[in-house]
Each structure stands twice: as structure tokens, then as C-alpha cells.
Amino acid sequence: MTEQQPVYFGEEVNGILWRKDESLGLSIAPATIPAKMIAIQSEKVYLRYAIPLTRGTRMIVPGYFETENGAIRTGRGAWDFLWAKFMLYPRAEIVGMQADGESSHLLVRDVDFSEGVQVLAYPDEKTTESLGIVTSLLHEPDADLPELLAKYLGS
């Protein structure tokens, strides 16, 4: 692996992040939060996308991807390349971070692409420890959602 550093991309949204038990929900303005929910952040919420690992309950937010041939991608480029080519490069390396902010270095074969993407919420772009997994999204039918949020949580 080279000296290139991981780049953790994400999407910033204007909305309200709310909690119900252990789950997080996100309401995109002008939607409001459901009754009896606790708002934990409003206005700007930063989202990153994670893929579950094959063992345990951990997941990884990829920031760096390197094939056996030395092709390197970081940030959104790493995400897109990984999803397009994961079956071709099972021994490729991924450097990323877990939901708790700890760094991970693993192989593509350790990632479970069949489990679906987890949307993680952060208070801002610089924070590495997530607030949790967003499992609900409320928005107006004509809301302009960020691309990946619409893909993984949009209805």
C-alpha cells in the first residue's frame, strides 16, 4: 500500500436528526419529526455510507481502495469503483473507518456486499465517530435528496 491517505466522502443535508430507542431518523425540511421522538441535531447533518463486514456487527466507511495491480482510488472514486468491481478484486485492500471512528484495514473479501449500505449520521464532516445508523427518512415527495441518500434510504 502506498502513502496516500484515505478520503472519507459524504453528503451534507439540511434536516432534523431524531432518535427513537436505538434507531435514528432523518427528516428533510420541511418535514417534521414524528410525535414522541427526540431531536438530537437540527439544520446540518453530515452523512457517510458504510458497508457491513462478513463477520460480526461491524461495518466500514471506505476511504481508500487499492487493487492487487496497484490501482488506487480514494473518496467517492473508491466507493464507486468498489461497488462496480468488488467481484473482480477480492484481495484488494480497503482502508476505512468504523462507525466508532476507529480505522480499519482489510480485504474486499471481508466486506458483505449483500447486506446493503448503512447510512451513518455525523454532526459535521470532521467528526469520525458517528451518531448512529439512520434507518428512517421522512421527506416531502418532491424533495431534492442527495444522490446516495436517495439511493439507500429514499422511497
- Percent of the chain topping pLDDT 90: 65
75 falls in which pLDDT band (50, 70, 90)?
Answer: very high
**Average model confidence (pLDDT) for the chain?**
90
pTM of the model: 0.91
Grid cell, residue 20, equals 427513537
Strands 93-97 and 103-107, by their bridges, are antiparallel
